[in-house]
Amino acid sequence: MSRAYNFCAGPAALPTAVLEQAQQEMLDYQGKGLSIMEMSHRDQVFVELAARAEQDLRDLMGISDDYAVLFLQGGASTQFAMVPMNLLGEGQSADYINTGQWSKKAIKEAGRYGRINVAASSEDTHFTTVPPQDTWQRSDNAAYLHYCPNETIGGLEYSFIPEVGDTPLVADMSSTILSRPVDVNRFGLIYAGAQKNIGPAGLTLVIVRKDLLGRAADSVPAMLNYQIHADNDSMYNTPPTYAWYLAGLVFQWLKKQGGVGSMAQINQRKAEKLYGFIDNSDFYSNPVEKISRSWMNVPFVLADDSLDKAFLAQAEQAGLLNLKGHRSVGGMRASIYNAVPEAAVDALIAFMADFEKRNG
């Protein structure tokens, strides 16, 4: 068996140890004579597994009982709608910070439900900066403030958690959750699609402060109402059981690695190596201001973009997969989530140095 190094932005690499365990348990889950996929979500075996996964996530992130943890479907994109549907009351407005393509999508979707104030935007720097908080033009009495701590496409990551007083802070953590410790108590709501640092696609996590539940209008469909999911332990309908199971294995794997504090050290080292190499080269470059460079998604361009195709083809031959940048920005992007080992970054840097030598 040979597994290549996978730099995909999502669905992204999963820890090999997790896939091996899933493989071992595939046909006969813990002697029950069937796979976890074929079991009722009401079966005690699954109910216990689901609760364990939630508890492991609570342990990893330090999530208190003041918060509900929901295991939903529909991807982070559904949260772009669910957040305003559940938190934006009649006649209220919400503040949004625009730092890239994912912020923009969230803003556009929220605009269908109520008044949105874009309190700050870094579009003028082509999303290579995070607007300093003292420039934000927040509205009075906003229902919440939404931001995207890590823009997956632009590779832009906030170096701070916004200070918003009593306003609930809502974060799209899809591409940064579990990459480093965060103080969950600073947030009203956190959401994340699973397919980067959590597990396979099809599962979406929502961590929501309980006092924010129960605010949705009656017209909001049951499946889009946080309160209903919370009241039913995320089993109002059939949840994505296999994705939930795999997420649980990833949480256990993270605990074995020493938790998110240990991951943060490794992630910082991986990112600093790669940015350091890029900055030392005239052949490659990254445009993002240094303080706001993502630890998870590292976009870079070649000085001569006519070499892009050769770069990607040769990288693939060298076992370095999915380095093509997002179609909206071009160039390259290396996504180096938790499950991408430091050896993968070392191999990428060695390949980039060699490619530069041959083509520079």
Does 149 engage in binding with ligand PMP (CB under 6 A)? no
Instruction: Retrieve residue 133's tokens.
Output: 């908080």
* Separation of alpha carbons 30 and 76, rounded Å: 32
Query: Which residues ranging from 207 to 226 are in contact with ligand PMP (CB under 6 A)?
Result: none
The size of the interface with ligand PMP (CB under 6 A), counted in residues, is: 11
Site string for ligand PMP, 173-192 (x = CB under 6 A): -xx-----------------
Query: CA angle 212-214-217, nearest 5°?
Result: 115
Q: Is 179 annotated as a binding residue?
A: no
Instruction: Provide, rounded to whole angstroms, the least separation between the CB of residue 193 and ligand PMP.
Output: 3
Look-up: residue for tokens 């009722």? 40
Give dist(CA 267, CA 144) in Å, integer: 30
What is the spatial distance between Cα 311 and Cα 351, in angstroms, rounded to a whole number?
A: 9
Residue type at position 317: Q
How near is the Cβ of 179 to ligand PMP at its closest, in Å?
Answer: 12
The reply on whether position 76 binds ligand PMP by CB under 6 A is yes
Handedness of CA 283, 274, 121, 226 (dihedral sign): positive
Contacts to ligand PMP from residues 15-34, by CB under 6 A = none
109: left (phi over 0), alpha (psi -120 to 50) or beta: alpha
The answer to the question of whether 233 is labelled as a binding residue is no
- Residues from 282 through 301 that contact ligand PMP (CB under 6 A): none
Residue 62 Cβ vs ligand PMP, minimum distance, rounded to whole Å: 22
**What amino acid occupies position 66?**
D
Q: Give me the residue whose beta carbon is nearest to ligand PMP.
A: 75
Considering the rule CB under 6 A, would residue 172 count as an interface residue with ligand PMP? yes
Catalytic residue check, 196: yes
Question: Catalytic residue numbers?
Answer: 102, 172, 196
Residues that bind ligand PMP (CB under 6 A): 10, 75-77, 102, 148, 152, 172, 174-175, 193
